[in-house]
Amino acid sequence: MGVYSLSEAWDNELLWAHYTNSHTGFCIEYELDDLILEKSKTVIFPKIIKIIYSEEPPVYSLEGMDNITFDLLLNTLIGTKSIPWGYEDEIRILFKNKGKQEINSNAIKSIIFGYRASDKDIKKTISLMPNRLSYHKIEIANNYQLLKKPL
């Protein structure tokens, strides 16, 4: 199966530093209801797994297996990470097949470019995307807060 990992936060400095090549990339903002449309036939569940951050990994024993549902097992095995990862505020969508997945393009709401994204990369990305999207670029306020400024 495939796992699509997302974050609920667009304004987390660490996410921008770790996953966008130090603010030179971009973030895609989705409408999650459109992203997981059941009619797309690619999503196992029409629901999202919200990651739980825990000090201990999930533990199962053969004695308690009668009380464990497939849904609970999947949620805890795929939906649990250690506490240091909590800054990601992660959610996951499960797909029937691994690898590249086609998504509903209507699910894309906007593109947010990092504050170091080049004008050339911004123009190229916008030229490849639908006209209906909104585009923003990150600015950093004096208090380190990330702001989303329209382009």
Q: What is the pLDDT of residues 3-59, one digit of tens each?
A: 889 999 999 999 999 999 999 999 999 988 888 765 555 555 556 889 999 999 988
**What is d(CA 128, CA 84) in angstroms, rounded to the nearest whole number?**
36
pTM of the model: 0.83
| Residue 77 to residues 8, 11, 81, 88, 114, Cα–Cα distance (Å) | 20, 28, 9, 18, 33
Question: Quick one: how far is CA 137 from the chain centroid?
Answer: 18
Q: In one letter, which amino acid is 34?
A: D
Tens-place pLDDT, residues 44-72: 555 688 999 999 998 877 776 777 777 77
